């Protein structure tokens, strides 16, 4: 997608001009992928404010063929020490921004002997907040792979008593691969019984048992973009307390989703869902933020939390994932990935949120 990457670089140049920079040294591999499409493990980009004609991409000899295919629209320099090689060619009187949040002190000390460096943290991450059409499509496909994998798992009896949490996690991740994922977005959370009250429980050899909650938090990756979804099931007929907790989280999640809109203050989106849970007497049982941005990273800005700063914009991709966790008994979390739109948000994770008894 050379045209897409070219548009992203052009948008970034506006920020360089505003900051009075002649160029930007890009060293973070995710930001390099965002700007060029390169997926290798060693690269740097020197983005010139004047245009792509002078912009340089650098990688090492292992990736020359790959770079020619993935970055056909930029001049390529081949050097193992990619960032250092690009900095050495910079004019002495130029002001060069660098990603200070991604550069070590040792690297900085080496770079600044060759260029007038200016700290510019977050310039590219600010652009990545709002997803373009290509990014949303990748997110949509990643969410679809996760949805289909879960459908298959349920339909084939994969959530049956006697299986272990690890069995289910491996099965689910394999099914996501079958549906187009290049790998899980993160280590899948499969939590049964009392483990479901642990927000980020790691799967164990614990067996699924009738009468227990079963919480699945998982995601697929497509073209580098991550999906994130949580669904909670009951193994066998649910008890009254389980229905009560599930219905509460379901209502809170709906309130959070309804609050997602362009211009919404992120802390107020969190508050919309949190109030539902607090009013039911479970304030202390919802101890994490409501959600987060998602894209090339599974956790990106913005943060939908009481401590979050800023507002939502159309095109941002976020999760909404309230939970209630009762230690020693069980817990419920319901999570979707969605895109902020004018009017209602676009829901990307489509698996049912009704209480499913398996």
In the predicted model, what is the mean pLDDT of the chain? 97
pLDDT, average across residues 17-34 = 96
Residue 93 has pLDDT above 90, yes or no: no
Task: Indicate the burial class of 120 (C-beta count within 10 angstroms; 0-12, 13-18, 19 or more).
Answer: buried
What SS3 state is found at 125? helix
Q: Mean pLDDT, to the nearest integer, of 338-352?
A: 97
Confidence of residue 123 (pLDDT cuts 50, 70, 90): very high
Give strand ranges (E) for the chain.
23-26, 44-48, 56-59, 75-78, 95-98, 116-119, 189-192, 213-218, 221-222, 225-226, 229-234, 291-293, 300-304, 317-320, 323-326, 330-333, 336-339, 346-347, 356-357
Q: Residue 77: what pLDDT?
A: 97
Tokens of 149: 């994998």
CA 348 to chain centre: 13
Name the pLDDT band for 67 (thresholds 50, 70, 90): very high
- Confidence at residue 1, expressed as pLDDT on a 0 to 100 scale: 79
d(CA 159, CA 138): 28
pLDDT exceeds cutoff 90 at 2? no
Query: Nearest-CA neighbor of 218 among 183, 250, 270?
Result: 183
């Amino acid at each position: 997608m050379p045209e897409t990457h070219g548009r992203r670089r052009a948008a970034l140049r506006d920020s360089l001009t505003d900051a009075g920079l002649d160029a930007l040294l890009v060293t973070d591999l995710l930001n390099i992928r965002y700007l060029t499409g390169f997926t290798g493990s060693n690269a740097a980009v020197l983005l010139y404010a004047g245009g792509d004609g002078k912009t340089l991409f650098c990688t090492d000899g292992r990736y020359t063929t790959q770079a020619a295919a993935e970055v056909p629209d930029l001049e390529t320099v081949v050097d193992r020490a990619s960032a250092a090689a690009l900095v050495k060619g910079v004019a002495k009187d130029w002001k060069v921004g660098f990603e200070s949040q991604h550069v070590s002190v040792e690297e900085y000390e080496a770079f600044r002997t060759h260029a007038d460096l200016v700290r510019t943290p977050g310039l590219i991450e600010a652009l990545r907040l709002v997803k373009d059409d290509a990014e949303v499509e990748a997110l949509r496909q990643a969410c679809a792979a996760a949805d289909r994998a879960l459908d298959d798992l349920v339909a084939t009896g994969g959530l049956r008593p006697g299986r272990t949490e690890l069995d289910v996690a491996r099965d689910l991740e394999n099914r996501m691969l079958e549906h187009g994922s290049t790998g899980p977005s993160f280590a899948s959370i499969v939590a049964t019984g009392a483990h479901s009250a642990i927000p980020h429980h790691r799967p164990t050899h614990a067996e699924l048992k009738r009468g227990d909650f079963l919480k699945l938090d998982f995601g697929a990756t497509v073209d580098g973009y991550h999906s994130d979804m949580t669904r909670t099931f009951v193994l066998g007929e649910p008890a009254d307390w389980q229905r009560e907790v599930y219905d509460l989280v379901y209502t809170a999640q709906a309130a959070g989703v309804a609050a997602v809109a362009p211009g919404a203050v992120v802390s107020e989106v969190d508050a919309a869902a949190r109030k539902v849970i607090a009013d039911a007497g479970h304030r202390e049982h919802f101890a994490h933020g409501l959600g987060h941005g998602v894209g090339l990273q599974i956790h990106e800005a913005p943060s939908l939390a009481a401590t979050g700063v800023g507002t939502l914009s159309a095109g941002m991709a976020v999760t909404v994932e309230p939970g209630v966790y009762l230690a020693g008994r069980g817990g419920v979390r319901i999570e979707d990935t969605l895109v902020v739109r004018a009017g209602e948000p676009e829901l990307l994770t489509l698996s049912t949120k009704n209480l499913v008894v398996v």
